[in-house]
Amino acid sequence: MSPISNREIHLASRPVGMPTAANFELVETHLPDPAPGQMLVRNRYMSVDPYMRGRMVDRKSYVPPFQIGEVLTGGAVGQVVRSNRGPLAEGTYVLSMNGWREYFLSDGDGLTPVDPGLAPLSSYLGVMGMPGLTAYVGLLDIAKPKAGDAVFVSGAAGAVGSVVCQIAKLKGCQVIGSAGSDAKVDWLLNRAGVDAAFNYKAMPVSAGLARFARGGIDVYFDNVGGDHLEAALSALNNFGRVAVCGMISQYNAIAPTPAPRNLALVIGKRLTLQGFIVSDHYDRLGDFHRDMSQWIAGGQVKWEETVYEGIENAPAAFLGLFSGENLGKMVVKC
């Protein structure tokens, strides 16, 4: 057969501060037919995630940096479209870390079959995938909320935050969310069923918490850091817990950021702050899939996604994470 024409996104240069389209390059390649034992996979959806910004910096971290001139990687759901006696049948849908490209060849290593009959394909990148698991373990295992606790969630209308809010409600907590637009606040109040939500671009976070969490907060699920973390530390009650999931407000900073300026509060208030990385918690995947599929089927967890069309628009989708263009999970239909 003729070579397969493939388009993929390379890292053209390392961003300094806010990334731009110039940091990415759309490259056309040609793949040979699958060798014996190999399969050709056509990606259908790929994920863009805030953590990818950290991988664009050349530094040691829990995942290695992306290399300039090489194709980016990330979560993707694709379909085996050709198999040369490969381990999976043609037609099988698979989850992989081979995103940012239309096609790839594989011997099956690193591929996990997924069932489109159980959940929509793209949801394996969101509510049924890594962000959903992050919300599940970050809230239940790290923050350990009790019924009646006041739980504050930042980035509350995003992939992780929207799920955290709804699980906290299921556990009998009072939930306060912050998000960057009135439309997101409206979704949180009227779809996710939180008790209170505010637009942090319209009022300082400290004012939002003073208004909507009059008795203070017991748990803070941090997706944002900076001023959000500072305001949460001030609002936390004695023995409060913080699940430190992400600090997206700092990912594009070009100099150290000052907040939180009140870290000493952890002593007098006897607070616990615990960071976590979802990949340490894949032992919880079975529990997560069982609970989440029941919650979705029962209408207790609602999920949204924002879809960009075409691999050529993957950089724009990624950049959109930093300007809040997504409600729920940001994905690209390849």
Nearest to 17 by CA among 250, 224, 225, 317: 250
**Ordered DSSP codes for 2-56:** PPEEEEEEEE-S--SSS--GGGEEEEEEEEPPPPTTEEEEEEEEEE--THHHHHT
Pick from 46, 160, 232, 311 the residue near ligand NDP by CB under 6 A: 160
DSSP letter at 198 equals: E
177 Cβ partners below 8 Å, 6+ apart? 152, 153, 154, 156, 157, 161, 165, 185, 188, 192, 194, 196, 197, 198
Residue 317 is a binding residue for ligand NDP (CB under 6 A): no
x-or-dash pattern for ligand NDP, window 181-210, by CB under 6 A?
x--x--------------------------
Choice between 38 and 154, CB closer to ligand NDP: 154
Choice between 55 and 184, CB closer to ligand NDP: 184
Pick from 129, 145, 155, 240 the residue near ligand NDP by CB under 6 A: 155
Joined tokens for residue 111: 């591929």
Residue 277 is a binding residue for ligand NDP (CB under 6 A): yes
Stretch that binds ligand NDP, among 87-95, 139-147, 241-249, 290-298 (CB under 6 A): 241-249
CB 126 within 8 A of CB 329: yes
Stretch that binds ligand NDP, among 8-16, 189-197, 240-248, 309-317 (CB under 6 A): 240-248
Q: CA torsion sign, 175 to 294 to 140 to 49? A: negative
Q: How far apart are CA 218 and CA 150, in angstroms?
A: 5
Residue 38 is a binding residue for ligand NDP (CB under 6 A): no
Helix H or strand E encompassing 293: helix 285-297
Stretch that binds ligand NDP, among 44-52, 105-113, 189-197, 297-305 (CB under 6 A): 44-52
Residue 41 is a binding residue for ligand NDP (CB under 6 A): no
The binding site for ligand NDP (CB under 6 A) comprises: 49-51, 131, 134, 155, 157-161, 179-181, 184, 223-224, 245-246, 248-249, 276-278, 321-322, 324, 326, 330
